[in-house]
Amino acid sequence: MIEGLSHMTFVAADLDRMTRIMTDFLGAKLVYDSGDEIFSTSRERFFDLAGLWIAVMEGEPLPTRTYNHVAFKIRDEDLDNYARRAADLGLEIRPPRPRVEGEGRSLYFYDNDNHLFELHTGTRAQRLARYRQGRIEAR
């Protein structure tokens, strides 16, 4: 039986750059750095982000970009601050998809390894409640 999420792993060509995204931008805490030792398939670092175990392993970036992504929950009033911080880090911000009012707002950004991340202000319950209301003009 599934007990919950164990961890997320991202492969990054530049561990230091991904560490800056994890710690300086997302606010994760670096809890492990393998240095030059290799216990798995490459050098790696572990982070704690709001209780989530995030592993970053050194390797080749994804060859293409897709809409596959991981989304982290943030407060609506923090979205503009994160947008400014993403721009300051030189992260490529992806235009948001069309949304219906009431499902929350999002900031999408790519890292240098073609991972897509989302910072989202809504919850699943809010989105489902909004969808039950039916289609209204998308913004």
- Residues labelled as active-site residues: 44
In the block, tokens 């890292």 appear at: 111
Residue type, 133: Q
Euclidean distance between CA atoms 101 and 122, whole angstroms: 11
Residues with Cβ < 8 Å from 119, sequence gap 6 or more?
71, 72, 74, 79, 82, 106, 107
Quick check: 65 and 114 in contact, CB under 8 A? Answer: yes
